[in-house]
Amino acid sequence: MAPVSLPHDAKAGPTKSEVRAVLCSKLDLAPTDHFAEVGSCTGAVTIEAARRAGRVTALERKPERLETTRKNLAENGVTEGVDLREAEAPEGLPEDADALFLGGSRNYEAVLDHAVATGVDRVVMNVSRLEVAGAATEAFRERDLLDEVVQFQVSHGYELAGATSFDSQNPVYMLVGGVDETATDGGGTVTLHGVGLGPGDADLVTVRGKRVLDEADVVYTPGRLSRTVATAHVPEARIGDLDFPMTRDEDELRRAWREAAAEIAPVARESTAAFVTLGDPNVYSTFGHLRRTLDAFHPDVSVETVPGVSAVTAFTTALGVEITAGSSLALHEGARGASPTGPDRMVLFKVTDVPATHEGLVAAGYDVVYGRRLYMEQGETVVTDDPEVLADRDYYTLAYAEKADLDDDPATAQFADAADDASEPTVAAMERAEGEACGDESPEVAR
């Protein structure tokens, strides 16, 4: 194969011939492959790939560099099979690439996300700076792409005082990997179990949840309270702790969930793994973030959810509140003093500023009762209708709000008043009694 000729200069690069030799070895391109390149620059890698792969799509964001690539392709007799695109990756990347090369670090995380989403079999990235190499290695690892990191340095000899000395080029860090689809292409089922622990009392874990915890090799917990409940059923040696920052910064949270998914996915592939949450995994829970992150970056890991006793039902039971058949119930967050309104009955989660929330709800015509740390072994359990008793902030505070003038007693409520036994039942009461006898539908739950 003739050496690559690069008579046209792009004032950047090119990738040195020795580096290209290693790169081509790692990419292992075949005539049936579709190769995609991010940052064609002089076209050196583009030419090498076009000689091996059936199709090449090369992206370059700078038009003058793209023109240099075009000219150098022509100088090397490459006239077919190459699609040059002026675009900034990941825009413009093909959906069916078999191999991908990143010649630089610009937008590399978004490019790697695209590689994962489209199932690129081979991904190679070249980096020249140590700090970027470290960050890129973590990015590969978080997406379960990393196979190896290679560092090498090329030196060329030259004559010096009748002897040979060497002129060393800067080191190159080459990250090599790809999407492993063996698990999704007949490699068997990989499952993570999401287990609801209930409201906080270890005795309220469901029978199925207990069975999954008994069988799990590793049980991951997102916080101290869930860990306390889990350790009542699982030895400390099988607990896997995850670190989640207390922040509202969405970028930081996404980073944390990617790291959590990257830690959990390999364990789920090799053994039985579970992730526990208080309450139910799908009701006001952190579990949804993990499920979506696994779907995006580790699609071979399926998720099986084991329901838990929700704080909604536990709360109403602890307060002795009955949500009768036919009633409407809304679930809301009450964080930072929020006072949402809705149907006649509401359950509010995360009521962190009880006095402020109470003021708004009372003004809207609701009677309100509060419960704090119900069924929890940590902290004091409090049930009260006095907001000042709960003036201090506590994330695990709930509220039940009911319109003060409700008059929709069920048919059997008449039994409480003996005088009503002889009264002629109203048409509405007769219809309600008939419906309840036949089994009313479950109450509507609004969000």
SS (H, E, C) 332-358: EECHHHCCCCCCCEEEEECCCCHHHHH
Where do we find the tokens 């290693």? Answer: 22
Q: How many CB atoms lie within 10 A of CB 23?
A: 23
pLDDT digits (tens, 9 = 90+) for 397-415: 888 888 887 766 666 766 6
The C-alpha atoms of residue 232 and residue 209 are separated, in whole angstroms, by: 13
pLDDT attached to residue 335? 78
Q: How many CB atoms lie within 10 A of CB 139?
A: 21
Those residues of the chain that have pLDDT short of 70 are 10, 13, 181-189, 246, 407-411, 413-447
Which residue type is seen at 292? R
Smallest CA-to-CA distance from 50 within 67, 66, 27 is with 27
pLDDT attached to residue 319? 77
Cis before 63? omega within 30: no
Q: How many CB atoms lie within 10 A of CB 299?
A: 17
Domains identified in the chain and CATH numbers? 17-177 (3.40.50.150), 190-309 (3.40.1010.10), 310-447 (3.30.950.10)
Indicate the helix (H) or strand (E) that contains 446: strand 444-446
Task: Sort strands 366-372 and 397-403 into parallel, antiparallel or unpaired.
Answer: antiparallel
How far separated are the first and last CA of the chain, in Å rounded?
Answer: 66
Can you name the residues that pair with 332 across neighbouring β-strands?
A: 348
Where do we find the tokens 């040059």? Answer: 84
Q: Which tokens sit at 372?
A: 């704090």
Q: Which tokens sit at 222?
A: 């997102």
pLDDT digits (tens, 9 = 90+) for 251-303: 888 888 888 998 999 899 888 899 999 888 888 788 888 899 998 888 888 89
pLDDT attached to residue 199? 84
The C-alpha atoms of residue 205 and residue 29 are separated, in whole angstroms, by: 53
pLDDT attached to residue 433? 55
Half-sphere exposure of 289 (CA within 13 A, CB side): 16
pLDDT attached to residue 339? 80
SS3 content of the chain, % helix, strand, coil (to 5): 35, 25, 40
Q: How many CB atoms lie within 10 A of CB 148?
A: 10
Q: Which tokens sit at 445?
A: 């739950």
pLDDT attached to residue 408? 67
Can you name the residues that pair with 345 across neighbouring β-strands?
A: 329, 402
Q: 378-396 burial, b for 16+ CB within 10 Å, e for fewer?
A: eeeeeeeeebeebeeeeeb
The C-alpha atoms of residue 354 and residue 399 are separated, in whole angstroms, by: 9
Q: Which residues contact 404 (CB under 8 A, 6 or more apart)?
A: 365, 366, 367
CB burial of residue 410 (10 Å; 0-12, 13-18, 19+): middle
Phi-psi region of 430 (alpha: psi -120 to 50; beta: other; left: phi over 0): alpha
Measured N-to-C along each axis, helices 287-297 and 250-270 cross at an angle, to the nearest 10 degrees, of 70
pLDDT attached to residue 333? 78
The C-alpha atoms of residue 56 and residue 271 are separated, in whole angstroms, by: 40
